[in-house]
Chains A and B, each alone.
Chain A
């Protein structure tokens, strides 16, 4: 530590005391900025409230990985507390959810929409889309929902969207197990195709991991935009609903869109790609096969969104928490 005697600290000159009971005049600056900075540098101090360079920022986020994981998992756990069945709800909620789809599309609606097993098709689509949808919605509250934390502890703010992303991943794991069981069970409905378990199931974790990376990238983008412009939070549900219908969650895009250019755009946009990847690992549809081009797109979209999202979020670092 630098010795005190080596540093000359600027002081204010003496002044007359204000009369008792009156407000003294405000005290001005101690010295000009250059002098103050020199004092701070001599004492080895670090400037606060400025954005660190990208590489040290990434390192400081990495050092907080235990915090990210614990915060993310704790939030997922806290979601299901406060009920009799507690953590059992992490399985019951997706189960009830898929029962609704099985009843509606397996029993009430008789059409197959050109698919061998529409129930399995829809269940996979809806569950995977929900993973994306809830990640984005949670990220929109990553800063504003943790303002207490932001205003009391110092850490790289990228921890917050990352931890909401971990929360959603923690939630999606039991959901995926339920999804696999429902898909297999839907094959037992007489008029629909069987859904045998194949080697392709091994690729499902890879598809989910890629979707998770993509979600995390989106989380960074949304977290920054909403933190700076809170109004976007109100627009977000409509954007997500549009993406829902444009991604072939409930129906096959090829089956409905005739224009080849439009079909290509809709087919290769990120959400459609990830739905395809997940379906290719689970379903027994002749039209949906494991396709290396789709996997390449899946990796590309994930890396692109993650990198761009992280940089965009980092560039706003010094602004989070001021509002």
Chain B
């Protein structure tokens, strides 16, 4: 497998300062992951039988590729770790290493095939097209997104102005979302997800969109969640983003945890590994 070079979408050297880690006292465990396995069913594809098989068998197996094509993909294979309140944890790994699947599985969104995940509160995942319907205005999507996160209608109405301010999209909130640029859409999604303060917040490349000012705001929001003793997970290809936000980093490779430790050490080892693949 060829490994693409790390893509730095998001960072101008000056706009994110490295993490100033004041001695934060870590709390009790907020997330326990015990020997987690996630297997996907993938329809419509099957590995064709090996070449040593007879001609007849190969023909059958080639036909089978189109009928009953079902492959099991083991995306996560035996990962264990414990996260604590007040921790922010980065997840790095090459494309297809299972980072996003791991994130969704520990958010309880993809059920584990084997092993267990224990979480405090209702974890929430940021940076994906949640309940947002393109034909509807931003305003209605704020309501829908807020309700999806488990807020009551009154709570959403209360926080509506905050959400719109934070997204910074102005009157565009009264237009249908399919008229938004991808950056505007991402900002509104981030703002909606940030309206609820979860115990465990998961971010999947969310900071990759938005301009410098918005990224600073997002970082402030993430720090705020950590100050309220929440746990933040961040999947990113940008090591600089990880270093500026996360105190601890997990390195995932082919569905397995290969390194778990302070961000500097893990990022350095990961960087060296990616470079060595070229």
Contacts and interface: CB of A to CB of B under 8 A. Distances in A.
A27 B116 contact: no
7 contacts: A9-B82, A9-B84, A24-B251, A46-B120, A50-B111, A64-B147, A67-B144
Contact of A17 (B149, B256, B269): B269
B30 interface: yes
Nearest to B254: A26
Interface in A121-173: 148-155
A248 to B, nearest CB: 37
A27 B147 contact: no
B258 A23 contact: yes
A10 B81 CA distance: 9
B150 A70 contact: no
Interface string B23-50: 0011111111011001111110000000
B111 A7 contact: no
B11 interface: no
Nearest to A68: B147
Given A2-B28, A154-B107, A24 B258 contact: yes
Given A37-B34, A67-B148, A81 B120 contact: no
A17 B270 CA distance: 12
Interface string A1-44: 11110110110100001101111111111110100110110111
Contacts of B144: 67, 70-71, 74
Contacts of A3: 28
A20 B32 contact: no
Nearest to B257: A27
Q: Is the interface of A mostly helix, strand, loop or mixed?
A: loop
Contact of B108 (A42, A44, A49, A75): A49
B236 to A, nearest CB: 17
B143 interface: yes
A227 to B, nearest CB: 11
Contacts of A33: 34-35, 116
A3 B39 CA distance: 35
* Interface size, B (range): 35 or more
Contact of A46 (B40, B119, B136): B119
Interface residues of A, number: 64
B131 interface: yes
A318 B114 CA distance: 12
B123 interface: yes
For A12, A39, A82, A322, the residue with the greatest tally of chain B CB atoms inside 10 Å of its CB is A322
A259 interface: no
B96 interface: no
A26 B258 contact: yes
B133 A20 contact: no
A153 B116 CA distance: 19
A151 B135 contact: no
Nearest to B268: A20
Interface in B37-65: 38-43
